[in-house]
Structure 1
Amino acid sequence: MSGTASNPPNGEFQAVTNDGAVLRTVVQGEGPDLLLVSGLGGTAAFWDDIAATFARSFRVIRFDQRGIGPSTRGSAACTIERLAQDCQTVLDTAGSERAVLLGHSTGGCIGQTLARLVPERLDGLILSGSWLKQNRYMAALFDTRLAILDQHPRAYAATATLMAYPPAWLEAHWQVYEAALAKAPETAEEKQTVRERIAALHAFDGSEWAASLPMPILILGARDDMIVPAFLQDQLSSAMPGARKTMLESGGHFFPISRPDAFTANVAEWIGEL
């Protein structure tokens, strides 16, 4: 396995994969290990606010995925399985033998795949705003987003943000929209990273093995999510006998950010019952 057996102190460190990607990793808090895996954006910063809440009860591990922010790209093809293997490298380097994995959106696909590859490493799996396999709605949505990316990166960032939050919440937190535009994927390298990550999620299909995942599973969603609609959490639930499904009435796709109290309470309560 990649990484070291030592348990690093809280703070930042680098996890190096077997194909040379260097992944910026952050650890904070004490307690059972909780690995946070973000979605298409791939940033550790997605979890900034709620990680501080989780760190009161857990040892929280999060990281910038390959090719995102300060994390380098490495030489391997970007697939969901490769991104899951990166999670294993992060756990190894953090000295974590077992953890609960909380994956949001694309991070949930990554989590499902890690659960298939090394089920013995996960005490539990939380799938937040995620899905089981490709569907026509998401294919059309992400193909449209790719077309916008090629023509106007700031419009790509704008439409993604406008769709990700409830309108009233975004109006009251307009700095979130402005920050997203400031980080729009403008360079050729940034655009290519987005394209290959979207291609990876297009190819993901967990339907053949979802029912065999042995660990406890929690499925979280929001009924007003326009990016990963609620019917996809229903599909996940049907494919995973014994999984618990909890749906928030509102919050949009980024309900971990727009509904942090409800989100963290549901996660902490479920982990506490394991």
Structure 2
Amino acid sequence: MELIEVADAVQLGVERMGVGPPVLLIGGLGMPSQIWELSGLTAALVDAGFSVIAYNTRGVAPSTATEPPYSVDKLASDAEHLLEACGITEALVVGYSLGCYTAQCLVRRRPDMVTGAVFLAGLQPSPIGALVGQMELDLIGRLGEIPAQVRVFEQLMTTLSPAMLQDPETVSIWRQLLADGDSLWSDRKGLHGQLAASFEWIMNEEPHPEHLAQISAPVLVLAFEHDVFFPPRTSRETAQQIPNSQFKQIDGAAHGGLFSNETNVVETIAQFCADQRHRLDGGGSRYASP
């Protein structure tokens, strides 16, 4: 992983793989770029002839953790400057959860730079997301942190599908994995900052219809059947406000469907990118393998 400076005193940890038209992967809250590899998406895109840029957002180790609060616009600015630092003028963008907010904001900032986007499990927030965000920020305000037991329980209940939650062995494995969550952050400031950015986005009642209507690039909206943060029904309705969009529900999975090995979400994303490849070939990208 290399460190690339995107703003004054802000460096992002970046993984670059493959040669070809670029795809930028923007992870969710606290999500290290290695998750994209574990999900199989990085390999699928590289095998399909794309170059992949995956990075740890501001606050996730080893990226810089600046003072909170952050904003989604600030995170989108980081993504924009990262593409510029890599010499990329046009790219496909895949955003997951909080990264979906960032992808939407990046499209607003630089519509010329985003030739197509996948909004994965993050288009239309639910009231549950607002409740959880308020709870987490209140705990940080009172205790200076989110107690590990609270964090692990919350993530188990929202990440895993109902079928997985009913399997004791699966729950035990995921409990152990999630227990290491604190080590993902460069500093507790990163967690606080990203939570604040996410909560501000929801409280501002994003996404606004007028912003969605201005998106001209092709968009694939994906929602997991059992996602309490971004339910399929409301995401489907919101997707209809994007002129050149398609919607697909991924059955059988909850919010963690990207990396729980329950779905064909990787194949679906890779196929969308392949379908949009003509928009990038020879279209101004100067990316080459590092």
Q: TM-score, normalised by structure 1?
A: 0.85
Residue 147 (structure 1) shift = 4.5
Task: Identify if the C-alpha distance between structure 1 residues 46 and 188 changes in structure 2 by more than 3 Å, giving closer, same or farther.
Answer: closer
User: Are residue 161 (structure 1) and residue 156 (structure 2) matched?
Assistant: yes
- 1:17 and 2:6 matched: yes
Whether the aligned pair in 2 keeps the contact of 1:37 and 1:63 (CA below 8 Å) is yes
Deviation at 1:234, TM superposition (A): 2.0
Structure 2 match to 1:6: none
Gaps of 5+ in 2: 277-290
Residues 2-81 of structure 1: matches in 2 within 5 Å?
Answer: 12-49=1-38, 50=40, 51-57=42-48, 58-74=50-66, 78-81=70-73
1:138 aligns with 2:129: yes
The Cα shift of 1:72 comes to 0.9
1:21-52, Cα deviation, whole Å (9 max, x unpaired): 11010011222211110111142122122222
> Does the 8 Å contact 1:20/1:75 carry over to 2?
no
d(CA) in 1 for partners of 2:96 and 2:266?
13
More displaced 10-residue stretch of structure 1: 114-123 or 232-241: 232-241
Matches within 5 A, 1:183-222: 183-184=181-182, 189-190=187-188, 192-204=189-201, 205-207=206-208, 208-222=210-224
Amino acid of the structure 1 residue aligned with 2:173: Q
Q: Is the contact made by 1:126 and 1:218 (CA closer than 8 Å) also made in structure 2?
A: yes
**Distance (whole Å) between structure 2 residues aligned to residue 206 and residue 167 of structure 1:** 28
Aligned in 2, Cα 1:187/1:84: closer, same or farther, shift over 3 Å?
closer
CA, structure 1 residues 28+241, in 2 after alignment: closer, same or farther (shift >3 Å)? same
Matched, 1:241 2:233: no
Tell me the CA shift for residue 185 of structure 1.
Answer: 6.8
> Residues of 1 paired with 2:228 and 2:68: CA distance?
32
Q: Which has the higher contact order (CA 8 A, sep 6+)?
A: 2
* Match among 73, 80, 102 for residue 110 of structure 1: 102
Superposition CA RMSD, Å: 2.5
Q: Which moved more, 1:29-38 or 1:46-55?
A: 46-55
**Whole-angstrom distance in 1 between the partners of 2:185 and 2:24:** 30
CA contact (8 A) 2:68 2:193 kept: no
State percent identity of aligned pairs. Answer: 20
**Matched position secondary structure for 2:158:** helix
For 2:57, what is the secondary structure of its paired residue?
A: coil
* Residue segments in structure 1 that go unaligned for 5+ positions in a row: 1-11
How far is the alpha carbon of 1:212 from its aligned partner?
A: 0.4
Is the contact made by 1:153 and 1:186 (CA closer than 8 Å) also made in structure 2? no
TM-score, structure 2 length as denominator?
Answer: 0.81
Aligned length: 261
Q: Could you tell which deviates more after superposition, 159-168 or 217-226? A: 159-168
Q: Give the drift of 1:269.
A: 1.6
Structure 1 residue identity aligned to 2:152: A
